[in-house]
Structure 1
Amino acid sequence: MEQLMAEETRNRTWVREFVLEGFPVAEHLRILFFLMHLLAYLASIMGNTLIISITCVDHRLQTPMYFFLSTYSFVECCFITTVIPQLLAIFLSGRQTISFVACFTQALVVFVLGATVFFLLAVLSLDRYLAICKPLHYPTIMSPRMCFLLVTVCLVLGFLFMAGPVVMLSQSSYCGPNVIPHFFCDFGPLANLSCSDTMSVEMLFFNLALIVLFGSLLVAIFAYSNIVVTIVGLPSARERQKAFSTCSSHLIVLSLMYGSCVFIYMKPKQTSRLDTNREAALVNMVVTPLLNPVIYTLRNKQVHQALRDALSRVQLPRYHRSSAPSL
């Protein structure tokens, strides 16, 4: 019996690399799609980098909220850089080969950073709750040490929640087809390609993703329910408008992030469609990071003023040099 099992094992073809199928795009449209996604990627990187830079150089933005926003922007840059360059290569070549180890490493990084983003969104909700509902206690609670601790906890929780299922799935047997109908190594397509029974791993991933998504969503709902009550009770219309303006961008980003992720990962396996998942994942990977710098921070009046001041400091020395009399 053991000899038969050993012989069967030797006769199997073990998968050493995967092929990312990407999007089915007509040949004459590949360059167009490549340029569109390249511009979106560069705009996302530039916008998020601008948020990080202006937060570091302007002392008026060195507050807990902007510290969390700059951390969020940094994680977003890492998140999209893990996936988008590979998507661009797929548009140029039609398909893209990725090794077994690189594929699961990419899946690990994507899901750890993705979970970290949702925990950061929950922290941002709590930060706004404390700033609006508990203004007297806010400076004491949100000390620099607490801010660093919260960011560290978000990253650690992201790793603890997502590393287990990905590592367990990587230990499964892959002996058949190796074409992934996606533009990155997503959990569902990898589980479908496995020769092993992955039901328990998929259920674990589903439950942990459920905790991450709805746990952080409940925190946001709690925070904004209290914020709405507090804003409605403010005596001045100007104060109400100012308080709401600091939260409206956050609510838009929450809707985009939670909507697309719930659509992708919170469906039973038998009703999951990979084509629609790819489109929803594209929203997460390309559209949302592109919109975040605009709707989250760059529309903020404080950031506008900080940008104007930074530009004036850059232009002023040039003006003095050009207007200086020649000897």
Structure 2
Amino acid sequence: MSAEPLIEVDGVEKVFDVRRKAGFLRRERHEVRAVDSLTFSVPRGEMVGYIGPNGAGKSTTIKMLTGILTPSAGRLRVAGIDPSRERAGLAHRIGVVFGQRTTLWWDLPLIDSYRLMRRMYRIPDARYARNLERCVELLDMAPLLEVPVRQLSLGQRMRGDIAAALLHDPEVLYLDEPTIGLDIVSKVKVREFLRDLNAERGTTVLLTTHDLTDIEQLCRRVMVIDHGRLMYDGDLDGLHELGGGERTLVVDLERELAPIEVESARVVKVEGVRQWLTFPAAHSAAPLVAAIAGRYPLADLSVREPDIESVIARMYAGGASLTY
């Protein structure tokens, strides 16, 4: 993996003018600072989680990085290109998936959207066939190709959008909530696909999500943004330590038993064979799982991450400082 920055953000700001009603016939002008003095860089080939609560400035950042919006101040470069000035040239080097908005043609079968994109991006036939075959196989999309996009479920459409964003071999991929609406099996497939994509092709990925499991399984680095400012830039364990959060281990036993007793965790709820245990978010779940499996008749278990809003709330409560 190269240390060469593919994405460079230096002192970037985005201010919107908003007019609000201030009387029967009068409106007042207000400035809304969606992004405030944002600075970071992403090396080529890195997968980065870009997270924060709703309204934090994540989507505004992505829109500036793709050239949809122009910064009010500061400097942006993606693959050496100023996105707002060379948007058409940049489009051939990036892929974008916005969770609730599709790039597919609503009334056409999925395969027809892909054929149109092949023409739009002037993708050579051999490359198009190779990339389409790989996406269809790994994302389990063969039964969906002849289905009109409007008939797809949200999860199916998300897989379709991810494939569409990769047909032209982009250097960088922006993903906004890529596992939204997916069942557990589909989430696993998408995560495996993205992990392989990054490992095999060195595709740089900037991932925004509310699902910290996506971040934990895909990204070594995480950036937290709130009120347009970068609050944290480091690994996920460091974020949990800063926020002081807890994770929850949901354990299904083969039969009803007294509350589980293991070191570094406590039972907070018991319902029949199911028990809920909390433990520090910065700690690995592996020793805890091993201890329970060795001493109790275990049927199933799962780990639930704290949501990002609660982590950020704890950061504020603890007076956490910005990390650059």
TM-score tier (shorter)? under 0.3
**Higher gyration radius (CA):** 1
Q: Higher helix proportion, which one?
A: 1
Larger RCO: 1 or 2 (CA < 8 Å, sep 6+)? 1
TM-score normalised by structure 1 residue count: 0.24
Q: Higher strand proportion, which one?
A: 2
